[in-house]
C-alpha cells in the first residue's frame, strides 16, 4: 500500500484556527482550519472544516464521527452539503448525527468547497501522479491530520472515532480506515467496487473519481476485499445499490461475501454489516437509518 500510495507529505504543526461560530438549534457549528502540509499551494496546505458540537452530547468526552462529503460533480458544495448548508438535504448526514449527540467533523477534500483548484480535479490528480503522489492518499492524509487535531480536544473521546460517507465519501471512509487505525467504525455507502476482473470497474469501463486510481495496484494484484481486510476486526457497514452503474453489483457482492467470511472465521461476525439494496447510486433513508443504528451500537 505504501508503494501505490506514493510519497507522503511531512508533518507540520496543525495550527488550528477558529474562523466562525454559529449557534443553531441543538448544536453549535464551528468553522475551523488546520495546516495539513507545506507544499506552498494554499488549497493543498490548509484544510477548512466544520465542527458540529451537540448541546447534549451522548457522553463526555463524546464519540466523534467524521463525515466525508460526496462527489456528484458539485465541487462548490464540499463540506457544506453534509452540514445542511447547501446541496441535497438528504445528504445532511452531519446534522442528523449531531442531533443524535455525536461531535461531527466535516472537512473539504482537496478540489471541493473552499479548496477548489482553478484547473480542477483532473489537473490536480495528474499533477499528483507527476509528483509521485496520489489524490487517494492526499485525501487520506488530510483526514488523518484532522484526527490528529480531534484527539487533542477534551470533548472528543479519542478511542471512539468513526467515519461515514456516500459515494466519494464512502470510498474514502474505507481507505482512511485502512490507513488510520484510530478509526474504529466505518460506514460506507456506494463507495467500493471490484477493481479488475469479472464484474469490475475496469471490465465495465466505468470512470471513477481521480482518487480511485493508484499506480501499480493492478500490477501488484491487490484486491479490494484484501485491502478492506486490513481494517481487521473493526466495525464496518458496507452498503451498495443493485442498480449502481458505476460499481457493478456482482463484484460488490464478491467483496461483501469475502469480508463476511473472514469476519465470521475470526469470530467478529457481529462487527460487520453488508447490505445490497434495490436502487441506484443513492443513500436511501432506510439504509441511512440502519447505518445510524449500527453506529449507535458500535461507537
pLDDT tens digits, one per residue of 17-34:
999 999 999 999 999 999
Percent of the chain predicted with pLDDT > 70? 100
**Which pLDDT does position 25 carry in this prediction?**
95
Taking residues 1-14, report their average pLDDT.
Answer: 96
C-alpha cell at 156: 472528543
Q: If residue 129 lies in a helix (H) or strand (E), which one and from where to where?
A: helix 120-130
Q: Check: CB of residue 107 under 8 Å from CB of residue 49.
A: yes
**Which pLDDT does position 224 carry in this prediction?**
96
C-alpha cell at 3: 508503494
| CATH dotted code for 2-298 | 3.40.50.1820
**Which pLDDT does position 206 carry in this prediction?**
83
**Which pLDDT does position 153 carry in this prediction?**
98
The conformational region for residue 39 under phi > 0 = left, psi -120 to 50 = alpha, else beta, is: alpha
SS3 content of the chain, % helix, strand, coil (to 5): 35, 25, 40
Least confident segment among 101-115, 118-132, 194-208: 194-208
**Which pLDDT does position 150 carry in this prediction?**
98
Amino acid at each position: 500500500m505504501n508503494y501505490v500510495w506514493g510519497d507522503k507529505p511531512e508533518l507540520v504543526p496543525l495550527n488550528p484556527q477558529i474562523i466562525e461560530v454559529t449557534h443553531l438549534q441543538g448544536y453549535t457549528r464551528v468553522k475551523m482550519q488546520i495546516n495539513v502540509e507545506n507544499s506552498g499551494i494554499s488549497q493543498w496546505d490548509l484544510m477548512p472544516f466544520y465542527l458540529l458540537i451537540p448541546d447534549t452530547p451522548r457522553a463526555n468526552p463524546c464519540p466523534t464521527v467524521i463525515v466525508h462529503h460526496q462527489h456528484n460533480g458539485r465541487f462548490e458544495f464540499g463540506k457544506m452539503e453534509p452540514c445542511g448548508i447547501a446541496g441535497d438535504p438528504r445528504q445532511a448526514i452531519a446534522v442528523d448525527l449531531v442531533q443524535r449527540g455525536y461531535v461531527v467533523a466535516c472537512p473539504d477534500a482537496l478540489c471541493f468547497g473552499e479548496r477548489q483548484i482553478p484547473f480542477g480535479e483532473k489537473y490536480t490528480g495528474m499533477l499528483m501522479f507527476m509528483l509521485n503522489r496520489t489524490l487517494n492518499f492526499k485525501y487520506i492524509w488530510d483526514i488523518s491530520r484532522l484526527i490528529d487535531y480531534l484527539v487533542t480536544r477534551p470533548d472528543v473521546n479519542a478511542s471512539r472515532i468513526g467515519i461515514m460517507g456516500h459515494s466519494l465519501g464512502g470510498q474514502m471512509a474505507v481507505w482512511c480506515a485502512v490507513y488510520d487505525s484510530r478509526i474504529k467504525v466505518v460506514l460506507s455507502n456506494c463507495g467500493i467496487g471490484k477493481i479488475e476482473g469479472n464484474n469490475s470497474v475496469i471490465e465495465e469501463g466505468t470512470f471513477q473519481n481521480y482518487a480511485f486510481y493508484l499506480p501499480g495496484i493492478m500490477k501488484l494484484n491487490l484486491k479490494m476485499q484484501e485491502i478492506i481486510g486490513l481494517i481487521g476486526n473493526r466495525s464496518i457497514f458496507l452498503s451498495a445499490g443493485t442498480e449502481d452503474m458505476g460499481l457493478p453489483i456482482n463484484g460488490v457482492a464478491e467483496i461483501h461475501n469475502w469480508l463476511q467470511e473472514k469476519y465470521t472465521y475470526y469470530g467478529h461476525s457481529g462487527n460487520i454489516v453488508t447490505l445490497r439494496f434495490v436502487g441506484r447510486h443513492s443513500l436511501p433513508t432506510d439504509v441511512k437509518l440502519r447505518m445510524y443504528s449500527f453506529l449507535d451500537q458500535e461507537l
